[in-house]
Structure 1
Amino acid sequence: MPSFGLCPRSIAFIVLATALGSDAAAIDPLSYVDQLIGSRNGGNIFPGATIPYGMAKAVADTTSGSNQGGFTLDGTPISGFSALHDSGTGGSPSLGNFPLFPYASCPGDDINRCDFPKKTRANHGQFDQNKVVARPGYFEVTLNSGVKAAMTASKHTALFQFTFPASDGNTSHPLILQDLTDLSDSRQDNGTVSVDEKTGRITGSARFHVAYFCTDFSGPEILDNGIFVNSRATADVKNLTISRSINGYPLPGGAFVRFASTDTPVLARVGLSFISTEQACSNGEAEVPDFKFDELEQAAADAWRQKLSPITITPGGVDEDQIKNFYSGIYRTMVNPQNYTGENPVFDTGEPYFDSFYWSNLASPCLDTVQTNSSQGGSNADVVLADGYLKGITAGIDWDVGYEAVVKDAEVEPFDWSSNGRGGLDSWKHLDWRGFGTMTRSISRTLEYSYNDFVIAQMSQLRNNTADSEKYLQSSDNWKNLYKEDQTSKFANGQDTGFKGFYAPKYLNGTWGEQDPLLCSNIDNSGAACSLQNTAHETFESSIWEYGFFVPHNQGDLITLYGGPAEYVRRLDFLHDQNITYIGNEPAFLTVFQYHYAGRPALSARRAHFYIPRFFDTTPEGLPGNDDSGAMGSFVAFSMMGLFPNPGQNVYLIIPPFFESVNITHPQTGKTATVRNVNFDPSYESIYIQSATLNGEPYTKNWIDHSFFTEGKELVLTLGRNESSWGTDIKDLPPSLGEYTGFNETTSGRRAARNIGTKYKAGFSQGGPRLN
């Protein structure tokens, strides 16, 4: 999914999280987390056992085509239980390395009558879809064979507990295998595995990326152990190096351990590392020294409670599913990114090291995560850094180095810019747009580069670097160079949409190219390549229609280009009402709230309530698209909190929370901010703000800055059933680099803003207090 949609993900939640608020003490947030939301219908979530941002992520792996998070509730069987996963990503499955699989016994007590390859052992992986247990730090499933698999985790170590059915009188020797595959069978070159004859310890590695594991067992006496290749096993060999097969696919192989009885559960401790097998063993021994499953599960639950409890609510009589939706959304923003600090395989460093970083978090600001090996638009790490800088995150950060990094992004073209960073900088610097025909995505790159430069300009201004501030402010207006005022848009049947003026591709010589504004939209059935393909078009995973609103820093000038606030609102309504946008993709997120910029914050509230819970609910099908590393969860959580951030700016757009009140305790200042609704209606008939106070004083702006959280302010919103004039004055609109003009028109039969005929330039959003 593209990175420009700007929904709130981890930076905002990291900045907002710590201790429990008092007026909602009766609510335990863990009891309202449903990890199975999105486990069906392509949500691709990881529903298993982990700690916040943990490297170890233990879950059952199904054979589904949507098993990017390992487990799905779509009727497909389980092929293994593994401890490395991602959550909510699209594309091909990754991770799921080194899965375990348990058998209560092999037929005839013959190990070679057990199925070892992943495809055939899945025949023994059926389970009751209605009896899966998932809670923060814990996952459990019982196979139809009667084997119960429970699991929990610490930072780098997963602990599995396999309980076998009672023997039917015949001798049963349970067997647990561990193989060298991953979810997508992507192993390259050789894999190695060894099993210790006395202890049963299995160690090994394989090159997907290079990963290492160390598995120790506790429970019944070990009967024997050995290795397997494809469908054959032997206890006579303890070491194996296995290559790819002739056809290029990884040859199945691994090790097994067989136990003397089924009387007691078998505990399997899997230590993980990207450094070495020795490090994997050390991680397991240090984090889970005594195989105490219940204690480790409790520690994981406590870690989650500490992270979730800073955000508390007074429900006000809303349906319990709304509370589940809210806390489950927050939970998913903290499953990713994985904290791999200390596990950097390239550099021996204690510096923070994460994966799944930047891509979807830009589109959702909570921690902005960009896939490490794919550049979707601009250099959106710049937005992540600027977001933190503007909001005063300074502890442990060398902002001189941070600033050097964003300037380098803007000025130095990487060797392979089709995959990493900004490209086509020559045309960007000399023509002020990304030229059509030099590479795909020229429109989306031009728009994203423009915003990237704006956030650099903000940082420059706060650092008193006037030259850089002026330079990057100027280039942040380059988006205008691709606006073609006579460009029209037609549906596939030839009917005109009734709107004129869209972005269009432009050749290096300044002549216009062509792209249908509806190409790559939600209603486009042409089969066009819209992603990272070499034949892709000029917008990444989105249409010109949707990108038409992506000027987060200069809505004033965009509204003017579109003919004023009334036309802007009409166009925004058309985008949503005609299903041109798709709320299951991040580019749609900010558009839900962009009515604020046209002086219609009530319409943002109405639109948010249209999408939640209609498209986001608490069923396994409850996500409209893949969760994208918590992006969907953060959209839900910030929308229901009533404060939606515009990433890279010190701006939160205000709508009424979905609860009577929400409290957020700041981790650095320890102060608690509160948003409270007066006249709250749990049936959501009264969702329009009539008036507001901030710390007891009248407050008319339809946005608020980050000092609200750091200083622990109270925002009180009085609600009613009808749209009011609150937040509609030009002076109350969110910051815009360009002036707001044209607000002497009417929208839906009433003035879109007061102060008729005046102009207001909001300028830069200012940084909050510096937090040392």
Structure 2
Amino acid sequence: MLILSPLAMVKLGPDVQSGTADAYSGYLPNGNIWGFSMMHESGTGGAPKYGVVSQMPALGNISNPLADLSQGRASADQAQVGYYKASLNNGVVVELAATDHTGLYQYSFPKGNSPSIVVDVSHVLPSFRGLGWEQHYSKGNFSFFPDGHYEGSGTYNNGWNLSPDWNIYFCGRFNEQPSSSNTFKGTGTTLASYDTSSSVSGTERLGAVFTFNNSNVTSRVGISYISSSKACHNLDKEVPDQTSFQSLVDKAKSTWNTQVFSKVQVSSTNAADLQLLYSSLYGMFLIPSNLTGENPGWSSEQPYYSDVFTLWDTHRCHTPLFHILEPVAYEEFICSLIDIWRHDGFMPDARSSNYNGRVQGGSNADSVLADAYVKGVRGCIRWDDGFTAMLTDAETTPPNNHDPKAPDSSTKEGRGALPDWLKYGYITPTFTRAVSRAVEYSANDFGLFQVAKGLGKKTEADKYLKRSRNWRNHWNPNCTSNGHSGFVVPRRADGSFIDQDPLNCGGCYWGDAYYEDNAWVYSMNALHDVATLKKFIGGDDKFVDRINKLFDLKIFNAGNEPGFTSPYLYNFVPGKQHLSAQRSRDISKLYNSGTGGLPGNSDAGAMESNILWQMIGLWPMTGQTTFLVLSPWFPQMTIELGNGKTLKISTTGGNKDTAFYVQSLKVNGKQWDKAWVTWQDIFENGGTMDFVLGSNVAEWSTGEPPPSPASGDQ
């Protein structure tokens, strides 16, 4: 998928069909290409979104543009930053480049054939999962203009976030006048009309077929959420006539190098490690989309971002790294979350096509805002409004959107199970995902405590600190599994616990008590209250064994976000940091720089940011200023922090693969005996971390354990 700049609106790429496989981001490595469309979301699960404003090249007489025009690949796709090439079985070669709001298609047709390009307004990415999350085309329009350009729009709905109708507008130009231009409309694959009409509109499938005399055709397309005239403006501004294809490729490379890749410099000659590093940085910054100036919902001076998929996935390790590597865009993103609340009523946990949805657990924008606040992000952020937005999540039950997968309460925004949370201090089986939501609501309330404390709101701080401990109300000390007692389990309104096998979470999905993991994992997720968690589990030795069991019993899944932090909780036990380093290296072996090199969906860069933190040798504790120390990969790494500040990390005496145990550590030149550092230590003003590594375990981390800020008052 091609984008000029990190977080750009246009994400141009192929749409591939292969049986009943969902092509979440359009692309599949095998199958036929059936269009090249302007909008995608990278690395998402659930169901596809977008795949709109599509073109498909074809040869010969196109008697029915609604028929299947898909083509297999004659050879493997080729791609690099800012460039994509597909060679189709019919001999057509398609090359793509893009800018923030436009796409450039370069077609090479085999000579001696009649080249055509089909623009299908009804084209969307389908879903075959049967969950009711498939996209729908509602209506469209298409018009030719005397100067040869065309304009139109499409209206679509649904997708993974169950959005109502939304519009995208387009404007296209070719490098030469077509020899013929025909509009079409129809239902399914049945044509209702196919003629030279200058415009067509309605609820039927519709679009146009352009035929050319020459074998080399360039197509330029601009898009906008505002109007077709804005789409034309974007096109003429970003890709004026005579713009060379190579200039866009070169600009994309330069932009990515300047804005992202150059932020992380390492000393390494290992090509696979370097490829994994920089491809992970690329994958991390594809979404959300910066739609500032393209907001169709309201007029505001604040930045605007959409395509948030989803803070449930990204708040653990993506947003903390987003802050470090792209601080300006990150500040804008936080401002946008708050501005969405101002105008839509709630901050999103997820958002696409300018519509909130879907909430998998808690209101994790609260944790993201808290993370930004405690790390000093200010700028355009009005923190009184930010805290009020968080209060909305904490105190206002959102209207039920009647999601068929979880009809008990809203999956659109906010905290649907809030009535139980306020009444009981826990969540009963009246609500789906009761236990996992309770654990997340506790973390979200801890976020409110952090911001309230910083703003001097003592009453509110005390209230939400207390509420952040409510995860304890789901703790059943008599629930046992594999030599351990005490797990978070479902609880009835009368206060009694429900018998629960901690290894069994049913389907681990929308209708179950736990979402995407079981009680073993969620019982380790009170990351703001670890000291209490250790006490409940039975002390340091039991705590270490509890983490070990996640691996011994094959519970841990590196592709499942709820368990992301668990492998590094050894750092909360003095002298056990080496176990976190070992787990980090084991997890890193699940990644590679080739096809299938992630241990799951990218999940909007969550997986890529995970491996990047392993390379850095740190792990963030979202909503806190704490970073757990792991083991860096490279002899030298420099991270640019902005305003001339850097974090420089060095390692001596070891190597990434076999000699990665920390022997000693200096932070800013001072000998260090803690298995953690703070934002202020190394990121606020920059700093240095100098590691000595070796092949043997060294008991260096004997200092005080990381903070456990919700554990002070038991």
Choose which of 727, 736, 745 in structure 1 pairs with 2:708. 736
Choose which of 251, 254, 266 in structure 2 pairs with 1:299. 251
Query: Does the CA-based 8 Å contact 1:174-1:260 persist in structure 2?
Result: no
1:155-213 deviation per Cα after TM superposition (whole angstroms, max 9, x unaligned): 1111111122233xxx6344443332211273343222223365042423223342333
How far residue 255 of structure 1 moved from its aligned partner, in angstroms, is 0.9
* 1:649 aligns to 2:634 (yes or no): no
> Which residue is equivalent to 1:486?
478
Letter in 1 for 2:683: F
* 1:337 aligns to 2:310 (yes or no): no
Counterparts of 1:438-477 in structure 2, within 5 Å, are: 438-477=430-469
Distance (whole Å) between structure 2 residues aligned to residue 348 and residue 175 of structure 1: 37
How far residue 383 of structure 1 moved from its aligned partner, in angstroms, is 0.5
Distance (whole Å) between structure 2 residues aligned to residue 657 and residue 480 of structure 1: 35
> Which residue is equivalent to 1:576?
551
Query: Does the CA-based 8 Å contact 2:181-2:211 persist in structure 1?
Result: yes
1:430-489 deviation per Cα after TM superposition (whole angstroms, max 9, x unaligned): 42212x232111111211111111121111222222211111111111111111111123
> Which residue is equivalent to 2:594?
619
Choose which of 678, 699, 707 in structure 1 pairs with 2:672. 699
Choose which of 42, 52, 72 in structure 1 pairs with 2:6. 52
Distance (whole Å) between structure 1 residues aligned to residue 28 and residue 115 of structure 2: 30
SS at match of 2:290: coil
Distance (whole Å) between structure 2 residues aligned to residue 477 and residue 216 of structure 1: 56
Letter in 2 for 1:365: H
Query: Does the CA-based 8 Å contact 1:173-1:259 persist in structure 2?
Result: yes
> Which residue is equivalent to 1:364?
317
Distance (whole Å) between structure 1 residues aligned to residue 516 and residue 69 of structure 2: 37
Counterparts of 1:274-289 in structure 2, within 5 Å, are: 274-289=225-240
Counterparts of 1:398-437 in structure 2, within 5 Å, are: 398-416=382-400, 417-419=409-411, 420-434=413-427, 436-437=428-429
Give the structure with the higher percent strand.
Answer: 2
Choose which of 709, 714, 732 in structure 1 pairs with 2:688. 714
Distance (whole Å) between structure 2 residues aligned to residue 698 and residue 410 of structure 1: 42
SS at match of 2:483: strand
Choose which of 200, 207, 211 in structure 1 pairs with 2:167. 211
1:245-304 deviation per Cα after TM superposition (whole angstroms, max 9, x unaligned): xxxxxx543111111221xx2121111111222221221122111233222222221111
> Which residue is equivalent to 2:160?
none
Query: Does the CA-based 8 Å contact 1:515-1:538 persist in structure 2?
Result: no
> Which residue is equivalent to 2:344?
none
Letter in 2 for 1:277: S
How far residue 66 of structure 1 moved from its aligned partner, in angstroms, is 3.3
Distance (whole Å) between structure 2 residues aligned to residue 309 and residue 652 of structure 1: 23
> Which residue is equivalent to 2:341?
none
* 1:678 aligns to 2:652 (yes or no): yes
- Aligned CA distance change for structure 1 residues 163 and 359 (closer, same or farther; 3 Å): farther
How far residue 515 of structure 1 moved from its aligned partner, in angstroms, is 3.2
> Which residue is equivalent to 1:388?
372
> Which residue is equivalent to 1:178?
120
1:206-256 deviation per Cα after TM superposition (whole angstroms, max 9, x unaligned): 23342333342333442010112345463322322242xxxxxxx543111
Distance (whole Å) between structure 2 residues aligned to residue 349 and residue 413 of structure 1: 26
Distance (whole Å) between structure 2 residues aligned to residue 480 and residue 203 of structure 1: 55
1:361-403 deviation per Cα after TM superposition (whole angstroms, max 9, x unaligned): 1133325983231221111100010111111111111111111
| Identity in percent | 30
Distance (whole Å) between structure 2 residues aligned to residue 738 and residue 203 of structure 1: 55
1:671-725 deviation per Cα after TM superposition (whole angstroms, max 9, x unaligned): 111111111324x211111111122111122111223123121110111112222
* 1:127 aligns to 2:83 (yes or no): no
Aligned-CA RMSD value = 2.1
Aligned length: 648
> Which residue is equivalent to 1:14?
none
Distance (whole Å) between structure 2 residues aligned to residue 95 and residue 183 of structure 1: 6
* 1:328 aligns to 2:279 (yes or no): yes
Letter in 2 for 1:315: S
Letter in 1 for 2:679: H
Distance (whole Å) between structure 1 residues aligned to residue 86 and residue 115 of structure 2: 21
SS at match of 2:683: helix
Query: Does the CA-based 8 Å contact 1:51-1:153 persist in structure 2?
Result: no
SS at match of 1:717: strand
Query: Does the CA-based 8 Å contact 1:690-1:723 persist in structure 2?
Result: yes
Choose which of 477, 495, 502 in structure 2 pairs with 1:517. 502
Counterparts of 1:549-564 in structure 2, within 5 Å, are: 549-564=524-539
Letter in 2 for 1:735: P
> Which residue is equivalent to 1:602?
578
How far residue 593 of structure 1 moved from its aligned partner, in angstroms, is 1.4
Choose which of 621, 627, 639 in structure 2 pairs with 1:664. 639
How far residue 627 of structure 1 moved from its aligned partner, in angstroms, is 0.7
Choose which of 17, 23, 33 in structure 2 pairs with 1:63. 17
> Which residue is equivalent to 2:194?
234
SS at match of 2:259: helix
> Which residue is equivalent to 2:509?
531
Distance (whole Å) between structure 2 residues aligned to residue 364 and residue 48 of structure 1: 24
Query: Does the CA-based 8 Å contact 1:584-1:632 persist in structure 2?
Result: yes
Distance (whole Å) between structure 2 residues aligned to residue 235 and residue 220 of structure 1: 21
- Ranked by relative contact order (alpha carbons within 8 Å, sequence separation 6 or more), the top structure is 1
Query: Does the CA-based 8 Å contact 1:99-1:179 persist in structure 2?
Result: yes
* 1:223 aligns to 2:196 (yes or no): no
Further displaced range: 78-87 or 230-239: 230-239
How far residue 738 of structure 1 moved from its aligned partner, in angstroms, is 5.7
SS at match of 1:187: strand
1:576-614 deviation per Cα after TM superposition (whole angstroms, max 9, x unaligned): 23221211111121112111112321111111111112x
1:721-760 deviation per Cα after TM superposition (whole angstroms, max 9, x unaligned): 122222233x1x2111366xxxxxxxxxxxxxxxxxxxxx
Query: Does the CA-based 8 Å contact 2:312-2:361 persist in structure 1?
Result: no
- Aligned CA distance change for structure 1 residues 190 and 426 (closer, same or farther; 3 Å): closer
TM-score where L is the length of structure 2: 0.87
Distance (whole Å) between structure 2 residues aligned to residue 212 and residue 432 of structure 1: 44
Unaligned ranges ≥5, structure 1: 1-46, 244-250, 490-496, 521-527, 740-760, 764-772
> Which residue is equivalent to 2:131?
none
SS at match of 1:111: coil
Query: Does the CA-based 8 Å contact 2:151-2:228 persist in structure 1?
Result: no
* 1:156 aligns to 2:101 (yes or no): yes
SS at match of 1:121: coil
How far residue 309 of structure 1 moved from its aligned partner, in angstroms, is 3.4
Choose which of 623, 626, 631 in structure 1 pairs with 2:606. 631
Distance (whole Å) between structure 1 residues aligned to residue 96 and residue 260 of structure 2: 21
Counterparts of 1:90-101 in structure 2, within 5 Å, are: 90-101=45-56
Distance (whole Å) between structure 2 residues aligned to residue 558 and residue 59 of structure 1: 47
Letter in 2 for 1:518: L
Unaligned ranges ≥5, structure 2: 127-133, 158-164, 323-332, 334-347, 351-355, 401-408
How far residue 546 of structure 1 moved from its aligned partner, in angstroms, is 0.8
Query: Does the CA-based 8 Å contact 1:313-1:659 persist in structure 2?
Result: no
> Which residue is equivalent to 2:206?
253
